[in-house]
């Protein structure tokens, strides 16, 4: 039996932005409900975090547990089902979750983050879990003592993934479609240069996945030959090629999107183009720096904006 809710603010997402927003809205004494299935968002699967103030060298999952502990201490309810539809009627938001739960709220904070980008190759989906992964932090230990693993991407996540995997597998191929790295932190690139069992393949793309439906991935075809080979045998492939904002719900609401990045457009108060809807974290164009600390700060700001909006709404109704 599904439970229906009436709250001041509905927060969609269970990452840093949403937990921070929930912490603040609860302390503002707003009735709050947090919804979503993916605990901890990108932070929870990001591995070791070394740049979060006050928490040096903490695993991302553990950091998110600390966020949630504060939420739990305030007895803020969390409903583990994804938001699938929402519309604004008569000044309030009417939302439906994947499990059929219905929610009426005065305001809405979206912290639903991003979806991991795929390569779009044949057999990619069916071989996920059979040699293909999208989370180095989660699955790297599975490749202990394996011969070779490939990582695709050119950002921090790809370099960090390759470095982590280099501790388990004998050979790592880091494959990047451009001619040089421009996005990873310099300290990561320095460590990469010093890691002898990682080969970097620039100006290269994966063109084909080779294997079978029983054992999964066995090798990859590449667009540029490497040491005379256009096909490389690998025990695993990690796709760390970035992520795209989850815009299904923003589109259903009719929110303005940034024409360049396809992110939800927000102002400095995390307000969107629709009154009563606020957005925070990686979903938004609020900052180019997509980090746990910026997501949390945007969540706190969105909570203040929601508090002000709800207060004005209640005073006029």
Residue 292 covered by a domain: yes
Instruction: Tell me the chain's radius of gyration from C-alpha atoms.
Output: 21
Residue 96 covered by a domain: yes
Catalytic residue (one of 8, 59, 72, 135): 135
* Tokens representing residue 162 in the block: 């390759």
**What pLDDT shows up at residue 143?**
96
The DSSP element (H or E) to which 65 belongs, if any, is helix 60-73
Shared domain check, 112 and 147: no
Residue 165 covered by a domain: yes
Last residue in a domain, options 178, 209, 239: 239
Chain position carrying tokens 């240069």: 193
Shared domain check, 154 and 94: no
Chain position carrying tokens 């927000």: 266
Range of the domain at 31: 5-116+243-316
CB-facing half-sphere around the CA of 24: CA atoms within 13 A: 20
Shared domain check, 112 and 9: yes
Q: Are 115 and 38 in contact (CB under 8 A)?
A: no
Predicted confidence (pLDDT) per residue in 186-209, tens digit: 999 999 999 999 999 999 999 999
**What pLDDT shows up at residue 48?**
84
Q: Is the pLDDT of residue 1 over 70?
A: no
Q: Is the pLDDT of residue 95 over 90?
A: yes
Shared domain check, 99 and 202: no
Residue 122 covered by a domain: no
Note if 139 is an active site residue: yes
Shared domain check, 109 and 171: no
Shared domain check, 106 and 247: yes
Shared domain check, 79 and 38: yes
CB-facing half-sphere around the CA of 42: CA atoms within 13 A: 26
Shared domain check, 211 and 269: no
Shared domain check, 250 and 201: no
Side by side, the strands of the sheet bearing 216-226 are 206-212, 216-226, 229-233
Residue 231 maps to which CATH number?
A: 3.50.50.60
Q: Given pLDDT bands bounded at 50, 70 and 90, which one contains residue 68?
A: very high
Instruction: Return d(Cα 23, Cα 167) in angstroms, integer.
Output: 38
* Tokens representing residue 289 in the block: 């720096």
Tally of domains in the chain: 2
- CA 60 to chain centroid, in Å, comes to 12
Virtual torsion, Cα 185, 188, 193, 199, nearest 10 deg: -100
Predicted confidence (pLDDT) per residue in 150-176, tens digit: 999 999 999 999 999 999 999 999 999
Residues forming a β-bridge with 109? 11, 278
Shared domain check, 248 and 107: yes
Distances (CA, A) of 295 to 66, 98, 175, 311, 317: 15, 25, 29, 24, 32
Q: Are 210 and 220 in contact (CB under 8 A)?
A: yes
Residue 126 covered by a domain: no
**What pLDDT shows up at residue 111?**
99
Catalytic residue (one of 59, 62, 72, 138): 138
Shared domain check, 202 and 58: no
pTM listed for this prediction? 0.86
Helix (H, G, I), strand (E, B) or coil at 42: helix
Residue 235 covered by a domain: yes
**What pLDDT shows up at residue 162?**
98
Last residue in a domain, options 239, 271, 306: 239
Note if 59 is an active site residue: no
Residues forming a β-bridge with 221? 208, 231
Shared domain check, 229 and 162: yes
Note if 138 is an active site residue: yes
Q: Burial of 119 by CB count in 10 Å (0-12 exposed, 13-18 middle, 19+ buried)?
A: middle
Residue 124 covered by a domain: no
* Tokens representing residue 240 in the block: 């760390």
Virtual torsion, Cα 243, 154, 49, 66, nearest 10 deg: 10
Mean pLDDT of 19-41: 98
What integer best gives the mean pLDDT of the chain?
96
Catalytic residue (one of 139, 235, 282, 285): 139
Residues 6+ apart with CB under 8 A from 131: 211, 215, 216, 217, 218, 234, 235, 236, 237
Last residue in a domain, options 205, 239, 273: 239
Q: Given pLDDT bands bounded at 50, 70 and 90, which one contains residue 138?
A: confident
Q: What angle do CA 9, 12, 15 make, to 5 degrees?
A: 120
């Amino acid at each position: 039996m599904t439970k229906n809710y009436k709250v001041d603010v509905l927060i969609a997402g269970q990452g840093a932005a949403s937990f921070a927003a929930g912490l603040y809205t609860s302390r503002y004494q707003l009735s709050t409900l947090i919804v979503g299935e993916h605990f901890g968002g990108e932070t929870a699967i990001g591995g070791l975090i070394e740049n979060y103030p006050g928490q040096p060298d903490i695993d991302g999952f553990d950091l998110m547990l600390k966020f949630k502990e504060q939420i739990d201490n305030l007895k803020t309810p969390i409903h583990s089902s994804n938001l699938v539809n929402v519309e604004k009627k008569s000044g309030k938001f009417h939302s439906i979750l994947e499990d059929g739960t219905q929610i009426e709220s005065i305001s809405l904070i979206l912290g639903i983050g991003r979806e991991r980008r795929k390569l779009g190759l044949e057999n990619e989906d069916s071989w996920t879990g059979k040699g293909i992964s999208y989370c180095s932090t989660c699955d790297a230990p599975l490749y202990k003592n394996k011969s070779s693993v490939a990582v695709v991407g050119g950002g921090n996540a790809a370099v960090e993934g390759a470095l982590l995997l280099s501790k388990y597998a004998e050979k790592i191929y880091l494959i990047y479609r451009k001619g040089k790295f421009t996005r990873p932190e310099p300290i990561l690139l320095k460590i990469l240069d010093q890691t002898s069992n990682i080969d970097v393949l620039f100006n290269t793309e994966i063109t084909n996945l080779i294997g079978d439906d029983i054992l999964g991935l066995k090798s990859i075809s590449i667009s540029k030959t490497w040491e005379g080979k256009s096909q490389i045998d690998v025990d695993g492939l990690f796709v760390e090629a970035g992520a795209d904002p989850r815009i299904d719900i923003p589109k259903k609401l009719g929110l303005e999107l940034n024409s360049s990045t396809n992110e939800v457009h927000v102002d400095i108060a995390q307000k969107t183009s629709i009154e009563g809807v606020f957005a925070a974290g990686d979903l938004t164009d609020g900052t180019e720096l997509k980090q746990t600390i910026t997501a949390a700060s945007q969540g706190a700001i969105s909570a203040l904006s929601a508090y002000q909006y709800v207060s004005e709404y209640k005073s006029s109704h």
